[in-house]
C-alpha cells in the first residue's frame, strides 16, 4: 500500500513538473517571439517610449484633441521618415504618411538613431493643440513617411507614401480592420465594415449588386426630394446672417440614407430632436470616447466607470428601429410573394419598390435560404446607416466651406450649373450628373484636403515589408490620409484648393495610391458611387440657389478627428440668394 501511495505521489509530481515545464517553455517562447517583434518594430523610427506606458501619456487627451495629437505628431516625423511606429499596449501600430522615400537612409545606423533621438527630444509629442496635429502629420516627411509610436506596450506604425500605402491596401492578405473597430461591434455587429475572413468575402459579394448603376439611378428621387427640403430650410437663413450649416446638411444626409437603405422617411430635417436622430449622434461620440481612452477599453471597466448605460440606451433605440423596419418590410415582402402582385404592378410602382433595393436584396437572399437572419440583415442595414450619412455630410460641408473661401472657383461652379440646368428647382437626372465635371472635381479636391475618414487602420495577419522595414504580424498599420494627400511630390503646393488637380491629364500623372478618400484595393468603399452622386446633388442644389461665404479662415480652422473629420466649431457660413 505504501508502495502504491509513493507511485501515486511520484506520478502526481511528474504531472506537476510536466505542466510547469510546458508552461515555462510556452512563456519562454512567448517572450522570445515578443522580443523578436520588439526588435523589428524598434528599427522603425519614432519617439522615445517609457517602459510599460510607451507613448500613451502623450496621447492621453480629450477625444477632441486626439486627431491633433496623431496628426501633429506625424508632422514631426514626416520630416524624418515615411513611416511612424507607435506602441499601444502589447500591439504595434504603424502609420504611413508620405509619397516618396528618401533614398540611402540607413535608420539602423548609429547616426540615424542619433538623429531620431535628437529630433524626439527637440520636438516632444505632448503638445495638446492644433500645432501638435500638424507636427505629427508633417513629421513623416524628412526620412520617408513612416513613424513608430508605443501606446503602452502596443506598437503602432503610421505610413503616408503611396508606394507604402499600396503594400497594405492592395493586398488580399492585409484585409482585417484594426482592433479599434471592435468598439463598433455592439452597434454594427460584424457587418461589411467590421467583418473579416470568409464572412467579409461572402457579404461583399452578396451586397455588390445593391450598388449597381440601375439601382443607384432609382435613388435619384430620394436625393432630389430631400435636397429640395434642405434648400427650403436654408431659405430662412439666406439673408447674409452667420450660421452653422453643418447640422442642416447632416440631417439631410440622414434622411437620405434612411430612405434609401430601409425605405423609411424618418423626417430628421423636420424633427431633429427625435430619439433616433439623437441616438445616432450620441453613439458615435461614445464610441470615439472609448477608442481614445485606454482605461475604458476593458468591457468590465467600461461597465463600472464608463458611459455604458447611456451607450446601451442608444443601442436599444437604434436596434429597435432597425429590427422594427426589417420585420415590417418582411411582412410586406411575404404578402407580395403570396399574392403574386408583382406581375401586375406598373413600372412606376416597381420603380418605387426598387428604392428599397438594399433592404429588399437582403430579404430576398434570406428567403432564398442563404443563411441571413434578421440579426445579419440588421448588421448590414446599420452599417450602411453608419457609413452613409456622416461621411457624406462632411464631404459636402468641406466642399461648401472651401468654395466659400474661394469665390472665384465658386463662380465657375455657378457658371457650370447655370449651363446645365434651366431652373434652380429642376430635378437632377443621371444626364445632368455626368455633366457636373467641375462640381465633381471640387468635391474630390475637398476630400483630398479634408478626407471624411482621416485614418485607415489595418491589423496585420502576417508580416509585411515596407521600404525594407519588416513589420510583424499583429501590428496595427495606420494610413494617415491627411498627410498622404499633402505630399508635394504628388500634389504641388498641397495646401492650395485647386479642383483642376482632378482633370484626367493630371490624375494620370499621379501614383494610383496617392489619393484614397474611399480607401482602395479589395476593401475599398462599396458605396463610393452612391456617396459621390449624393454629394453632387446636395451641393449643386445649394449652389443653384445661393452664393456661400465662409466665415472661418483656413489658418483659424481647428480640426476635430472623431469617427469623421470635421471643423471643431462647425461650418459657419453666410448664404445669399443668387439673382
Is it the case that residue 441 has pLDDT exceeding 60? yes
Environment class of 434 (CB within 10 Å of its CB; exposed 0-12, middle 13-18, buried 19+)? exposed
> Residue 230 sits in which domain range?
197-453+517-577
Answer whether residue 343 is part of any domain.
yes
Cα torsion 45, 51, 53, 58: sign = negative
Q: Could you read off the pLDDT of 148-182 as tens digits, one per residue?
A: 877 667 778 889 899 999 999 999 999 999 888 89
Q: Could you read off the pLDDT of 239-291 as tens digits, one per residue?
A: 999 999 999 999 999 999 999 988 888 899 998 888 998 898 899 888 888 87
Q: Outline where 236-307 has alpha helix (H).
A: 246-262, 275-292, 299-305
**What is the number of residues in the chain?**
579
Answer whether residue 334 is part of any domain.
yes
pLDDT of residue 351: 45
Q: Alpha-carbon distance 148 to 39, whole Å?
A: 12
pLDDT of residue 58: 64
Answer whether residue 261 is part of any domain.
yes
Cell representation of residue 109: 545606423
pLDDT of residue 46: 72
CATH of the domain at 273: 1.10.630.10
**Mean pLDDT for the chain?**
81
Contact 444, 506 (CB under 8 A): no
Q: Could you read off the pLDDT of 22-50 as tens digits, one per residue?
A: 788 877 776 666 666 776 777 777 777 66
* Spacing of C-alpha 222 from chain mean position: 25
Please name which of 71, 86, 140, 171 lies closest in space to residue 455, comparing C-alpha atoms: 71
Answer whether residue 42 is part of any domain.
no
Q: Could you read off the pLDDT of 457-470 as tens digits, one per residue?
A: 999 989 999 988 89
Answer whether residue 39 is part of any domain.
no
Q: Which helix (H) or strand (E) is 459 found in, with range?
A: strand 455-459
Query: Is residue 505 classed as helix, strand or coil in its secondary structure?
Result: helix
Query: Is residue 350 classed as helix, strand or coil in its secondary structure?
Result: helix
Answer whether residue 224 is part of any domain.
yes
525 is in an annotated binding site: yes
Number of domains in the chain: 1
pLDDT of residue 77: 45
Please name which of 506, 457, 502 lies closest in space to residue 165, comparing C-alpha atoms: 457
Query: Is residue 60 classed as helix, strand or coil in its secondary structure?
Result: coil
Neighbours of 387 (CB within 10 A): 22
Distances from the Cα of 489 to the Cα of 141, 231, 511, angstroms: 11, 40, 10
Arithmetic mean of pLDDT, 1-10: 64
Answer whether residue 463 is part of any domain.
no
Distances from the Cα of 282 to the Cα of 42, 265, 294, 318, 478, angstroms: 39, 20, 20, 11, 26
The bridge status of strand 83-88 relative to strand 154-159 is antiparallel
First to last CA, the chain: 109
Answer whether residue 86 is part of any domain.
no
Arithmetic mean of pLDDT, 177-199: 90
pLDDT of residue 485: 95
* Spacing of C-alpha 9 from chain mean position: 60
Amino acid at each position: 500500500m505504501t508502495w502504491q501511495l509513493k507511485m501515486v505521489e511520484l506520478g502526481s509530481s511528474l504531472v506537476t513538473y510536466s505542466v510547469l515545464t510546458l508552461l515555462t517553455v510556452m512563456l519562454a517562447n512567448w517572450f522570445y517571439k515578443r522580443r523578436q517583434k520588439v526588435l523589428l518594430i524598434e528599427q522603425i523610427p519614432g519617439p522615445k517610449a517609457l517602459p510599460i506606458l510607451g507613448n500613451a501619456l502623450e496621447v492621453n487627451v480629450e477625444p477632441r484633441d486626439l486627431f491633433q495629437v496623431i496628426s501633429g505628431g506625424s508632422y514631426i516625423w514626416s520630416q524624418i521618415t515615411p513611416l511612424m511606429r507607435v506602441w499601444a499596449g502589447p500591439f504595434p501600430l504603424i502609420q504611413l504618411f508620405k509619397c516618396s522615400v528618401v533614398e540611402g537612409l540607413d535608420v539602423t545606423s548609429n547616426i540615424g538613431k542619433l538623429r531620431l533621438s535628437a529630433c524626439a527630444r527637440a520636438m516632444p509629442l505632448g503638445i495638446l493643440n492644433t500645432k501638435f496635429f500638424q507636427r505629427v502629420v508633417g513629421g513623416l516627411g524628412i526620412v520617408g513617411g513612416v513613424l513608430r509610436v508605443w501606446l503602452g506596450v502596443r506598437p503602432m506604425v503610421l505610413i503616408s507614401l503611396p508606394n507604402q500605402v499600396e503594400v497594405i491596401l492592395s493586398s488580399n492578405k492585409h484585409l482585417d480592420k484594426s482592433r479599434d473597430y471592435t468598439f463598433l461591434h455592439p452597434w454594427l455587429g460584424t457587418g461589411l465594415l467590421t467583418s473579416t475572413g470568409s464572412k467579409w468575402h461572402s457579404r461583399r459579394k452578396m451586397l455588390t449588386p445593391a450598388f449597381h448603376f440601375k439601382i443607384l439611378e432609382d435613388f435619384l428621387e430620394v436625393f432630389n426630394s430631400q435636397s429640395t427640403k434642405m434648400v427650403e430650410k436654408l431659405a430662412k437663413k439666406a439673408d447674409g446672417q452667420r450660421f452653422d450649416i453643418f447640422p442642416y446638411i447632416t440631417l439631410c444626409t440622414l434622411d437620405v440614407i434612411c430612405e434609401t437603405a430601409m425605405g423609411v422617411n424618418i423626417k430628421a430635417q423636420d424633427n431633429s430632436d427625435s430619439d433616433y436622430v439623437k441616438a445616432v449622434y450620441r453613439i458615435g461620440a461614445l464610441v470615439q470616447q472609448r477608442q481614445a481612452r485606454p482605461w475604458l477599453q476593458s468591457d468590465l471597466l467600461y461597465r463600472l466607470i464608463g458611459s455604458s448605460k447611456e451607450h446601451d440606451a442608444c443601442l436599444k433605440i437604434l436596434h429597435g428601429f432597425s429590427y422594427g423596419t426589417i420585420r415590417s418590410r418582411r411582412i410586406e415582402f411575404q404578402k407580395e410573394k403570396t399574392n403574386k402582385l408583382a406581375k401586375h404592378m406598373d413600372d412606376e410602382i416597381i420603380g418605387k419598390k426598387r428604392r428599397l433595393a438594399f433592404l429588399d436584396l437582403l430579404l430576398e437572399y434570406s428567403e432564398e435560404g442563404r443563411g441571413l437572419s434578421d440579426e445579419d440583415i440588421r448588421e448590414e442595414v446599420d452599417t450602411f446607416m453608419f457609413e452613409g450619412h456622416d461621411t457624406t455630410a462632411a464631404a459636402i460641408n468641406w466642399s461648401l466651406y472651401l468654395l466659400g473661401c474661394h469665390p472665384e472657383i465658386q463662380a465657375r461652379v455657378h457658371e457650370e450649373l447655370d449651363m446645365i440646368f434651366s431652373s434652380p428647382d429642376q430635378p437632377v437626372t443621371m444626364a445632368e450628373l455626368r455633366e457636373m465635371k467641375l462640381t465633381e472635381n471640387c468635391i474630390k479636391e475637398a476630400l483630398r484636403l479634408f478626407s471624411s475618414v482621416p485614418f485607415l487602420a489595418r491589423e496585420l495577419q502576417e508580416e509585411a515589408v515596407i521600404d525594407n522595414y519588416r513589420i510583424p504580424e499583429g501590428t496595427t498599420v495606420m494610413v494617415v490620409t491627411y498627410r498622404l494627400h499633402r505630399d508635394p511630390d504628388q500634389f504641388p503646393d498641397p495646401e492650395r484648393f485647386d479642383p483642376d488637380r482632378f482633370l484626367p491629364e493630371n490624375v494620370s500623372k499621379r501614383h494610383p495610391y496617392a489619393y484614397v478618400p474611399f480607401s482602395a484595393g479589395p476593401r475599398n468603399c462599396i458605396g463610393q458611387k452612391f456617396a459621390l452622386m449624393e454629394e453632387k446633388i446636395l451641393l449643386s442644389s445649394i449652389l443653384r440657389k445661393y452664393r456661400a461665404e465662409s466665415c472661418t479662415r483656413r489658418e483659424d480652422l481647428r480640426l476635430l478627428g472623431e469617427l469623421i473629420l470635421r471643423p471643431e466649431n462647425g461650418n459657419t457660413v453666410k448664404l445669399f440668394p443668387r439673382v
